[in-house]
Amino acid sequence: MIQSNLFIVMSIIAVISSQSVRGKDCVCELQNSESAFPESKLVRVEITAVECLRNISSEKRTEVDRLVLGLQHRLKQLNENVAMLEKEDNGNLYGAVSLRIIQLELAELQDLLDKLSRTNTNNQQLSTEIADQLQDMKNTMEELESFDSTMVILKQRENERIKRDLKLCEKELNATTPPPTPFMGNCGLGQMVNVSGPKIYSLTVYGTSYSFGAWGRDANPAPGDENKYWLVVLSSSNAYGHYVRQYNSMSTILLGIGPTDIHISSSNPTTNTIQGPNMVMYENSLYYNCYNTLNVCKFNMTTRSVTNVALPSDAGFNSKFPFAHLGTTYAYTDMDFAADESGVYVIYATTSNFGNVVIGKVETSTPPVLNQTWSTTLHKKTVTNTFMVCGVLYATRYLDKDTEEIFYSFDTKTNTERYDWRIHIRKMQANIKFLNYDSRDHLLYVYSDAYVLTYDIMFQ
């Protein structure tokens, strides 16, 4: 019975004694020491325990027999438990538990002895002898335990920690290793490495009245329109907008001088009203989510006419799949629009993609056409906003009121996803309601709790 325990204890003797993780190399040195664990002492205790039991049994006292039978039964159970542990092959637990089992056996022997000494005075002699032996065994066990707690289990724990560190190191190494395919090669920008700023941080002419809005420049302007800026605020219920304000330059938008308002509809909310803060201006047309529908609307600023195309019928709208973080959901942000060097995209989520982000290419014809789509594994409600650079979608998440993190990318050219970006955006206000990239000045345009901001993206 105790034999298999012995085997178990022996198997933890080869203890890993020295390990190290060297910087970024992820080298782990493992050295097997001599059998540092004093197993011979343990073996002696075990043998004495067996003998002791046998001697007690041989006394053939009915009371004692009953007790011994009970103890044997208990030992059998312990052995079965150990056999189970063996199968699970959990080295750590294994070592700790085998010592614990012997501890329990000793306690039971002590219990047995106490009962034995109570049965009758004839047992006194035997009891005294066994008591001495038991005391010896206990002393040895204490020694073994102190040895164990400082060496065996400790070393195994350390080994676990080092293994964990090694994994972490490997992960970080993976995170900082650029992917093998040339990233953003088509745009010649290199890999995004950092976001600095804000460069511009200002209230608009509306003051703090409107917490939701959007702004920027035309991503593909007509000649003469290159330096125009547009601004849309959701002037009704933080949800709807019905006109586009235009300025001739950055300074006029910041000072609020000489705007031109172009109305889409006469009031809020009604057919073709802008719903939600995520939109984009491309070739003098505004692309946005049309009021109360799953339509992508295109407002031609020249003709002031709206055409549209519907997203798939299981796409979210009216706050079904909004941008969000643990504390907040951003209402009516089911659809995000982004433009980059290659055109206009709509970012949304569908039931068939489990509420995860789908990227759709919007052909800028009249009416617009939804062309190629890409399904991602990015859950829309864990994201606070997205933008596109060179055919790559980036997503941000809320870390705290001061920091937003670019943490995700999806490359539409290679269909590869990454969740390991750690690029931080320093916020001035807690909530980013609108975020887009301008491929002409390489700036991020942000609308955050009534403030307009720009940030510089740095590429390698």
Binding site for ligand NAG (CB under 6 A): 48, 51-52, 55, 133, 167, 170-171, 174, 194, 196, 283-285, 300, 302-303, 363-364, 366, 369, 371-372
Minimum separation from the CB atom of position 231 to ligand NAG (A): 19
DSSP 26-67: --B--EE-S--S-HHHHHHHHHHHHHHHHHHHHT--HHHHHH
Does residue 443 contact residue 452 with C-beta atoms inside 8 Å? no
Tokens matching residue 344 = 């206009």
- Give the whole-angstrom CA distance, residue 393 versus residue 385: 10
Minimum separation from the CB atom of position 152 to ligand NAG (A): 27
User: Residue 258's CB: how many other CB atoms inside 10 A?
Assistant: 11
Choose between 55 and 270: whose C-beta lies nearer to ligand NAG. Answer: 55
Amino acid occupying residue 73? H
How far is residue 351 from each of residues 312, 354, 453, measured CA to CA in Å? 10, 5, 34
Minimum separation from the CB atom of position 376 to ligand NAG (A): 19
Minimum separation from the CB atom of position 170 to ligand NAG (A): 4
Measure the CA angle with vertex 264, ends 298 and 258; round to 5°.
110
Tokens matching residue 438 = 């301008």
Choose between 61 and 155: whose C-beta lies nearer to ligand NAG. Answer: 61
277: nearest Cα among 447, 415, 134, 135: 447
DSSP 413-429: TTTEEE----EEEE-SS
How far is residue 380 from each of residues 323, 340, 395, 408, measured CA to CA in Å? 6, 21, 9, 12
Minimum separation from the CB atom of position 45 to ligand NAG (A): 11
Choose between 77 and 191: whose C-beta lies nearer to ligand NAG. Answer: 191
User: Residue 134's CB: how many other CB atoms inside 10 A?
Assistant: 19
Pairing of strands 336-340, 305-310: unpaired
Does residue 168 contact residue 161 with C-beta atoms inside 8 Å? no
Which residues neighbour 20 within 8 Å (Cβ) at sequence distance 6 or greater? 27, 28, 29, 162
Minimum separation from the CB atom of position 173 to ligand NAG (A): 7
Choose between 19 and 342: whose C-beta lies nearer to ligand NAG. Answer: 342
Minimum separation from the CB atom of position 9 to ligand NAG (A): 20
Choose between 100 and 167: whose C-beta lies nearer to ligand NAG. Answer: 167
Minimum separation from the CB atom of position 369 to ligand NAG (A): 5
Choose between 8 and 130: whose C-beta lies nearer to ligand NAG. Answer: 130
- Give the whole-angstrom CA distance, residue 12 versus residue 10: 5
Choose between 58 and 271: whose C-beta lies nearer to ligand NAG. Answer: 58
Choose between 52 and 357: whose C-beta lies nearer to ligand NAG. Answer: 52
Minimum separation from the CB atom of position 282 to ligand NAG (A): 7
Choose between 29 and 51: whose C-beta lies nearer to ligand NAG. Answer: 51
